[in-house]
Amino acid sequence: MFIEARLIFQSYMPKRLEQGMLFQKKVSMRKLKTNIEHYEVFELKDIPRDINSYVAINGWPVEPHIYSITLNPDDHAHILATPDLIGWWDEEPDAEYEEDEEGLLRDIAVTEYNYLLENFEGNIDIQVDEEEFKKGIVKPIIYMEKVTLSVPMIKDNTDDWNVTLNDGLEDEEPWDDMDDEPEFELGGSE
């Protein structure tokens, strides 16, 4: 079972910069006469000669974390996955897989990070234990020392909507605004 979570990049101060470290920058673009801003992640390809000026321009390196999404802004989000657990990328989370199939899961890459940041504002689906989730516990499934991630799915809430829509309505009379009496009289006071 996959649930929606939030991908957040947190900066840290390493002792030295290394190739492959991730950095984050804000990107602005115009679409249909509207300025759209989002974040983008990039990898450090070469170690810069002047590290101080590089950090002044690009900031400190970042690491991905996955947090729970809370409906109440006063509730604290829980860390579901730390950088060492991130992660497997699943292109087709709803597909039924055979045990011996290969190539279905792969390491998540910068391309997927940027796609999620641009198109889903960092929202991401993470695979959790369904039985634990039914008990109210969010426990990510760790497969070969990593969590499995995917593009956020469009949730089909039509079944819940139909149940809610029809719940208790049979006892109420249909609404008709034509037979309502006005609660006040129009006109001035005499």
Q: For 81-105, how does the pLDDT look when each residue is reduced to its tens digit (9 = 90+)?
A: 999 999 899 887 666 555 445 557 8
- What are the pLDDT digits (tens) for 123-139? 999 999 999 999 988 99
Name 180's bridge partners.
Answer: none
* Owning domain of residue 23: 2-156
The per-residue DSSP string of 72-137 comes to STTSPPPEEE-GGG--EEES-TTS---TT--SSEEE--HHHHHHHHHHHTTEEEEEB-HHHHHTT-
Please check the confidence at residue 158 and state whether its pLDDT lies above 50: no
Query: What's the structural domain count of the chain?
Result: 1
Residue 167 lies in a domain: no
On whether residue 171 sits in a domain, the answer given is: no
Buried b / exposed e across 78-102, counting CB within 10 Å, b at 16+?
A: eebbeeebbbbbbeeeeeeeeeeee
Residue 49 scores a pLDDT above 70: yes
Does residue 184 form part of some domain? no
Residue 1, class by beta-carbon neighbours within 10 Å (0-12 exposed, 13-18 middle, 19+ buried)?
A: middle
Residue 168 lies in a domain: no
What's the Cα-to-Cα distance from 95 to each of 33, 82, 91, 101, 142, rounded to whole Å? 39, 26, 9, 12, 19
- 189, part of any domain: no
On whether residue 180 sits in a domain, the answer given is: no
